[in-house]
Amino acid sequence: MKTVKLLKKCKGLIAILAILSVITACTSEKGKSNETDKTAWENIKEKGTLKAATSGTLFPASYHDSDSNELTGYDVEVAKELADRLGLKIEFTEMAFDGMLSSINSGQVDFAINDITVTDERKEKFGFTDPYKHSVGAAIVRKSDLSGIDSLEDLKGKKAAGEATTTYMEVARTYGAEEVIYDNATNDQYLRDVSTGRTDIILNDYYTQTLAVSYYSDLDITVHPTIRYNPSSASIILKKENEDMRDAFNDALKKMKEDGTLTKLSKQFYNGADVSEEIELEESK
């Protein structure tokens, strides 16, 4: 009889433990589900920090101040202001452009800001905010002979410096230039190579190039007087599915535009020019 009662007690205990196990498992799964159900933007707000990718080598968008060595620039300060308005801290990771895209996909960073041109091809794979900068393509060549280039059609056989996946290198490639690929090189290296003849041309943003030529006035370089092409807009790039984060960014950028913050930052870094205003120029022929 004692054995039978003991067995019954054991069976009852096992049943209770089984029920508790199921309850615990359900509670645990519910917790996991709640965490999984949160969007990337909700998780970021909960953690309180935005992770941004930028180059740190692209004057005046993203570079290190020569005196303080602090990371700054138009794009960097736009990102800092954006985070501040959203009540978040911001951490920057410096890398080449190609690395920015893979880092967004892997989740290493939440977004990239580095004078990134919006293109239809990129929009198929990534999300973009509303533009915070507008410009047009230009070309740096040797001042002494314009590198023997009168128009984009003269690029065939010329050595064009840049990063492989930028829209500017795509233009060079289209016109038959020989690509000289750099991996997050400094402005100094890019520009000296044109001056010495190692390369012939750098296709890039008009405002950026104008400032670079002015800063490196000792080099044999100039912004080509007639080559202008591809009016463009720069936006923050992020994962395509992060629509709520994009919407929050757009709301903040809109307010920054309306209250004059973008104009103020632009004039600070672009020698008085307002790159937040859209421009239209005829393409070079």
How many whole angstroms separate alpha carbon 168 and alpha carbon 141? 14
Residue 101, C-beta contacts closer than 8 angstroms, at least 6 positions apart: 112, 126, 165, 237
Last residue of a domain, one of 185, 210, 231: 231
Q: For residue 165, what pLDDT is reported?
A: 85
* Residue 191 CB-half CA count within 13 A: 25
1 or 269, greater pLDDT: 269
- Cα separation, 269 vs 247, in Å, equals 26
List, for residues 21-78, the tens digit of each pLDDT value: 545 555 555 544 444 568 889 999 999 999 999 999 988 999 999 999 999 999 999 9
Range of the domain at 243: 41-132+235-269
Which pLDDT does position 32 carry in this prediction? 46
* Residue at 283 is within a domain: no
Tell whether the torsion through CA atoms of 171, 173, 176 and 178 is positive or negative.
Answer: positive
Residues 65 and 205 in one domain: no
- The whole model's pTM is what? 0.70
Percent above pLDDT 90 for the chain: 73
Average pLDDT, the chain: 88
Do 173 and 207 lie in one domain? The reply is: yes
Tokens 């970021």 belong to: 44
Half-sphere exposure at residue 27, Cβ-oriented, CA atoms within 13 angstroms: 6
Question: 195 and 112 share a domain?
Answer: no
Of 201, 198, 75, 95, the closest CA to residue 143 belongs to: 201
The enclosing domain of 160 has a CATH number of: 3.40.190.10
Give the model's pLDDT for residue 279: 76
**Contact between 114 and 58 (Cβ < 8 Å):** yes
Asked whether residue 81 falls in the same domain as residue 220, the answer is no
CA quadruple 166, 231, 206, 65: dihedral positive or negative? negative
Question: Tell me, what amino acid is at 116?
Answer: I
Instruction: Give yes or no: residues 113 and 141 share one domain.
Output: no
| Tokens 């720069």 -> residue | 234
Q: Could you tell me if 209 and 196 lie in one domain?
A: yes
State whether 140 and 182 are in the same domain.
Answer: yes
pLDDT tens string 134-184 = 999 999 999 999 999 999 999 999 999 998 888 899 999 999 999 999 887
Q: Give the total number of structural domains in the chain.
A: 2
